[in-house]
Amino acid sequence: MSNVIVDVISVLANVFTIAASGLALWIFFSKRLQISSVLKLLLSYSMQISLRELNDKLDQINNLRVAEDFEEIGNIFHDIFGQVRGNSRLYREFSSLIENAELNIASQKLFSEAKKRALVSEIREKLRHLDMMNVEGKFAGEKE
């Protein structure tokens, strides 16, 4: 008798699994535009967070002086470089800028307040450009 109950429950579980899978497929195909919109929104939000973090780090650098805080400036710049390298969208836009910046901050003797301000301004401008591209949903090489 217990084998019959187990078999019935097994069959019911399989039927419900098939029904749930069919429902999931139906929702996926009938609501794919809405699902796509939600995923794009999540990606856009993620990019906004990354851009905001980079802007905050640039604010930190801007408040430091090369003469007194060179090591801290270098650490924050390297944090920025790591974050950019870890994000393929950012890296496409920033790769040449990162190489140039790394050469500039390699030596305290060659790095000046003017170079720091120029790097911060250049990175900020790139971030603004990326922010606008993010709002428009058009990253370099991507199609809507």
Digit-coded pLDDT (tens) for 69-84:
999 999 999 999 999 9
Sign of CA dihedral 133, 134, 137, 143: positive
Residues 75 and 104 reside in one and the same domain = yes
Residues 66 and 11 reside in one and the same domain = no
Domain of 9, in residue numbers: 1-30
pLDDT greater than 80 at residue 143: no
Asked whether residue 81 is assigned to any structural domain, the reply reads yes
Q: Are 33 and 81 spatial neighbours (Cβ–Cβ below 8 Å)?
A: no
Q: Are 140 and 93 spatial neighbours (Cβ–Cβ below 8 Å)?
A: yes
DSSP, collapsed to helix, strand or coil, labels residue 109 as: coil
Q: For the whole model, what pTM was predicted?
A: 0.69
Asked whether residue 62 is assigned to any structural domain, the reply reads yes
Q: What's the confidence (pLDDT) of residue 74?
A: 92
Number of domains in the chain: 2
Asked whether residue 142 is assigned to any structural domain, the reply reads no
Q: What's the confidence (pLDDT) of residue 140?
A: 44
Asked whether residue 60 is assigned to any structural domain, the reply reads yes
Asked whether residue 115 is assigned to any structural domain, the reply reads yes
Give the tokens for residue 41.
């929104």
Residues 63 and 125 reside in one and the same domain = yes
- CA 60 – CA 56 distance, rounded (Å): 6
Q: Are 92 and 140 spatial neighbours (Cβ–Cβ below 8 Å)?
A: yes
Asked whether residue 144 is assigned to any structural domain, the reply reads no
Residues 123 and 61 reside in one and the same domain = yes
Nearest to 47 by CA among 115, 131, 104, 109: 131
Residues 55 and 78 reside in one and the same domain = yes
pLDDT greater than 80 at residue 60: yes
Tell me the pLDDT tens digit for each residue of 1-39.
788 899 999 999 999 999 999 999 999 899 888 888 888
